[in-house]
Structure 1
Amino acid sequence: MIDISSNDITPKPLRVREFYLGRQPILDRNQALFGYELLFRNAPVGPANISSDLSATASVIAHASQLGMERVIGDALGFVNVDADVIMSDIFVFLPREKVVLEIVESMLVTPEVRARISELVGHGFAFALENVVSDTSQVQQLLPLVQYVKMDMSTVDPQVLAALAPRFKQEQKKLVAEKVETREEFKLALDLDFDYFQGYYFAKPAIMTGKKLSPSQLAVMELMTLVTSDAGNMDIERAIKRDVSLALNLLRLVNTPAVGARQRIDSLSQAVTVLGRRQLQRWLQIMLYAEPSKRGHSMTPLLMLATTRGRLLELLAHKLRPNNAHLADIAFTVGIMSLMDTLFGVPMSEILTQIEVTDEVAAALLSREGFYGDLLRLAECIERIEDMEGEIVPTLRDLAMSPDDLVELEMAAYEWSDNVVRYAL
């Protein structure tokens, strides 16, 4: 038996800078965040060298775990791909067993030794998932008793096959995860088939609705944002906040989060306006736009998480690339947050920009991903969709003169910041 508590044998450490890190949200049936699939990719010298070698992934997992897995996934579960080499290694000494689900890749050959090792790890408290199951094969049969989750790809498996397989696995008490859910229709199909969890960016796609009206609270926040970005006095801003009691309470809670970094507790609206300043106040109002629907019973947590992560990552990237211009970082944060407002409001981005005054540079970034801010936003989107857009990361980094090592550390900082914000915002 291999002792997973021993440190005698460890994978060769590889530096985080040699890799890209992507994470894709996995939601439950109520649209609340359940976990993330963590996707590690080699950072190539050139596009031809792009690799997703799982042995390299194992070393990155070790390094990421040492840095703190909670920085990447917060309170959620982390789903990580593993193959036979990883399963037979001693990587598991690094992994918090209560925080990870090990995804067995579909290409893995099941030998008696591998199956015995999986059984041993299950005995140690590790959870496993079968990835990309398309039929009830003998290999699936061998592994099914050892796994808790079965993942099926909504983009490749025929709906009739899904309808036949789903009840079969549910009968075995397995949790079903629908992968590559990109449309509301695919989500509804998986929901009807009694899937438990849903992975994909369907929640971030705008569902344009003619004549859709903003909620009273969202209107109040938008009006307040207009005051903040204009030359209105602090007293006028304070009065506007006081008109909406829930807005006032939520703002006070948000400005006291660790993410703000205030040196003292902020107990009054006038203090909030004075201490924060216009720039920070505008930032928290933008975040509140995403948090507000959750308070009405509509779970918008994943959209809030995605928007705050984008905003913070763009801000950190801008600060790294243009360290002597703090104003650029502020604008980059706004671009990241605003990039999902078409989804939030259910109206085209072009229409939103007729209501919220922005510079031509910001409009170009939001409408067509052009210019400096557009490059930053495109990089963030490539990372989110690392499986489909991996090849675009290298040229985008080259255009920005940004190194992969800086990118991964900024990503982890953005994930951690966003997790803190969302925890307090809801």
Structure 2
Amino acid sequence: MTANPTSDSATAIPLRVREFFLARQPILDRAQSLVAYELLFRNAAAGPAMVTSDLSATASVIAHTSQLGMEKVIGDSVGYLNVDAAVLMSDIFKFLPREKVVLEIVETMKVTPEILARVQELVDDGFRFALDDVITDTEDVQQLLPLVEVIKVDLRDMPLSALLKLTPRFKQANKKLLAEKVESQEQFETCLELGFDYFQGYYFAKPVILSGKKLSPSQLAIMQLMSQINSDADNADIERSIKKDVSLCFNLLRLVNTPAVGMPRRIDSVTQALMILGRSQLQRWLQIMLYAEPCKKGHAMTPLLTLAATRGKLLELIAQHLHPRNRNVADTAFTVGIMSLMDTLFSMPMEEILEQVAVVDAVTDALLNRGGLYGEMLRLVEQMERIEEAGSMLDDLVDKFSLSTENLYTLQLSAFEWSDAVARNA
């Protein structure tokens, strides 16, 4: 956190939610379970240079929370929101559920006696604070330190020598440490050794290829079933394959009876599941089961499952928006989204995975080359996830698909809700 004076943003007029692109970036704990999201926004009207995560965006979202419901965006997790001097001194906090948010004090905010008094007042009222982008132990940091719970460190701006120097000071002060922009497994392990409590970044979604890696028996069984469905095998053959694996059969029935499926009545048999769900829906739940396996190893909310399910659902919804009468396009889009992280899930090259499960050429092109209609949809969703780094490509893709920011926001909320429900019940 630096001590730069506040900018003219303090006098900016809050924009409407629909004028922003939204991203939610996962925050993981030391066990790699999902515990929070940072909500980030980009002013769509001002172009790619205007990444704004403080006054106008925060004020817009907070002001609309009562209508939208923050739980639609963050589910059961906690939401981190950026605040600057103008937001802190405003009266918008009545909209915020105290137990569901951590307020991030932006690094450009100059600390004044009025700011300190206001933060103290909000702490007394039950709000929690984090200091964002702390890079050195400044006077401003020292003044705010007793009032905050979390110190955020941006790894891109922090050499290891400085990290080694700062970490013990904040740990000694009993502060939680959050490493952001964690982009590799090595960075994660370094911060883990240094005692960091939380980690933000897409290191968990990057494949670490292990030579000679083999699928587990349960993964192999699911992949073989997916191939049977894709090759148009008889229902009786598919049913026999499912019933051969008791664990697979049990988990499939458990999953298809979750609220996210929306079945009006309980499905009690594989025969029923095949008849009621149909093949494309069965394929969908098999894909989700692949990601759900780590959940059974003690993870609460595995971020990879949540991210893959969000991608799949968002691609499906975009496809429905583009081709409302073509269910096949939507189903294929879902497959592309959820399979896009399977190289990470299996620690195997995507080419090898596609050799083991038959998919149509359009899916292969999308997954390997980001080519074709589905590849462009996937690129759009990937750009949305990394909204801070997204350049003009994001705007170009949104225009290409004739999506307004309001359309996209609505589709995102639906995808977030659905994927969170799936992850909770996996």
CA spacing shift, 1:211–1:300, aligned 2, 3 Å: farther
Describe the superposition over 1:355-384 as per-residue Cα deviations: whole angstroms up to 9, x where unpaired: 222222222211121211111101110111
Q: Does 1:293 align with 2:294?
A: yes
The amino acid across from 2:102 in the alignment is: V
**Partner residue in 2 for 1:92:** 93
CA spacing shift, 1:362–1:247, aligned 2, 3 Å: same
The secondary structure found in structure 1 opposite 2:99 is coil
Q: 1:46 & 1:153 partners in 2: Cα distance?
A: 24
Q: 1:200 & 1:145 partners in 2: Cα distance?
A: 27
1:259 touches 1:421 (CA, 8 Å); kept in 2? yes
Shift of 1:122: 0.4
TM-score (structure 1 length as normaliser): 0.94
**Partner residue in 1 for 2:241:** 240
Shift of 1:293: 2.6
**Partner residue in 1 for 2:148:** 147
Shift of 1:234: 2.2
TM-score (structure 2 length as normaliser): 0.94
Shift of 1:229: 2.2
1:55 touches 1:85 (CA, 8 Å); kept in 2? no
The amino acid across from 2:33 in the alignment is: A
The amino acid across from 1:152 in the alignment is: V
Structure 2 unaligned runs (5+)? Answer: 1-11
> How much identity, in percent, do the aligned residues show?
65
The amino acid across from 1:101 in the alignment is: V
The amino acid across from 1:396 in the alignment is: L
Q: 2:144 & 2:46 partners in 1: Cα distance?
A: 38
CA spacing shift, 1:141–1:334, aligned 2, 3 Å: same
Structure 1 unaligned runs (5+)? Answer: 1-10
**Partner residue in 1 for 2:118:** 117
Q: Does 1:370 align with 2:399?
A: no
1:309 touches 1:414 (CA, 8 Å); kept in 2? yes
**Partner residue in 2 for 1:79:** 80
CA spacing shift, 1:364–1:231, aligned 2, 3 Å: closer
**Partner residue in 2 for 1:59:** 60
Shift of 1:170: 0.9
**Partner residue in 2 for 1:274:** 275
CA spacing shift, 1:184–1:56, aligned 2, 3 Å: closer
Q: 1:106 & 1:382 partners in 2: Cα distance?
A: 25
| Alignment map for 1:134-283 (pairs within 5 Å) | 134-283=135-284
2:62 touches 2:93 (CA, 8 Å); kept in 1? no
Shift of 1:205: 0.3
The amino acid across from 1:91 in the alignment is: I
* Poorly superposed stretches of 4+, deviation over 4 Å: 11-14, 45-53, 297-300
Count of aligned positions = 415
Describe the superposition over 1:83-122 as per-residue Cα deviations: whole angstroms up to 9, x where unpaired: 0001001110111110000000011011111110110000
CA spacing shift, 1:43–1:194, aligned 2, 3 Å: same
Shift of 1:62: 2.1
2:41 touches 2:51 (CA, 8 Å); kept in 1? no
**Partner residue in 1 for 2:425:** 424
**Partner residue in 2 for 1:3:** none
1:41 touches 1:53 (CA, 8 Å); kept in 2? no
**Partner residue in 1 for 2:335:** 334
Q: 1:298 & 1:419 partners in 2: Cα distance?
A: 15
The secondary structure found in structure 1 opposite 2:156 is coil
